[in-house]
Amino acid sequence: MTLALISHPDCALHQTVSYHPDTAERLSAIQDQLLASGLEMILHHYQAPLVTREQLERVHSADYLDDIFHKLDTQDQVWLDADTMMMPGTLTAAQRAAGAVIEAVDLVMQDRHQVVFCAVRPPGHHAERDRAMGFCLFNNVAVGAAHALAKMGGRKLAIIDFDAHFGNGTEQIFRDNDDVLICSCFQHPYYPDCGEPSYEGHIINVPLAAGAGGAELRAGVQQHWLPTLTRFQPELILISAGFDGHREDDMSELNLVEDDYAWLSEQIKAVADQYAGGRIVSVLEGGYALSSLGRSVVAHLKALLG
């Protein structure tokens, strides 16, 4: 199996104020741990392209995109909500982040690689069809999923989201599309103050209480995710890979560790190997404590490699 990594120096152009958690150092921390672990030696590297307007319009409205693309016409800094800001380099970074997932889907669907990790920022899973929020402008994983559906011609895919915060944007975009199975776990109640339990149909939400750790995560995955994934039999799996549930990360009150992310990734890999030809696209979402972020990404990728 070969592992590819897609990123771009432009992802560092999204500069934030000093107290904002989403810093360019996040990607540097991942790179440092890839080097230290030896994974860097076996990675195949690709540069993220810029997403096109057509690709964005599969999941975002034209009016929303017009607004985002012209936000900085008359000013150098814009707050889209209390958490989400734009600076002069933000739009380019966001276009690279979404474009990375397009490239990743193409790589796995063309069988050039089985597993691709997108080390990008800003994150995406909170972005709704008409709304930026939670650090997110474009819903990167949704853009990739919509591209896959357009190219795959009626085949099924799964999105697995293990960020500590509920991926409200992804659910909103695919709520009425039962060709997309969404399996998520997240702290609840917590930001963005939605994400009710759902154990049937094509949206499987497994909320975790504050203080939950590996035992609770594993129970939810085994009881709710795995049986549904087995019935659904996805032909492609995309992951919203958030690592802010780590016990060292103060962006949540969960108590996960690297072994939990490795175990979860092993379960995803097993499903992908059985039904999807091993095809997995993993996209960085949260994870803001730099050391635990880097270590967790390494654990995730090693498990996906097998």
Confirm if 145 and 180 have CB atoms less than 8 A apart. yes
Which burial class, exposed, middle or buried, applies to 155 when counting CB atoms under 10 A from its CB (0-12, 13-18, 19+)? middle
Q: How far is the CA of 48 from the CAs of 5, 28, 242, 250, in angstroms?
A: 10, 16, 20, 30
SS3 291: helix
SS3 48: coil
Residue of 302, 251, 291, 247 whose CA lies nearest to 117? 302
Neighbours of 21 (CB within 10 A): 16
SS3 38: coil
SS3 288: coil
Q: How far is the CA of 187 from the CAs of 113, 205, 211, 253, in angstroms?
A: 33, 11, 9, 8
Asked about 125 being catalytic, the answer comes back as no
Axis crossing angle, helix 25-37 with helix 290-305, rounded to the nearest 10: 50
Active-site entry in 14, 60, 125, 126: 126
For residue 245 the two structure tokens come to: 């549930």
Question: Where in the sequence numbering do the catalytic residues fall?
Answer: 126
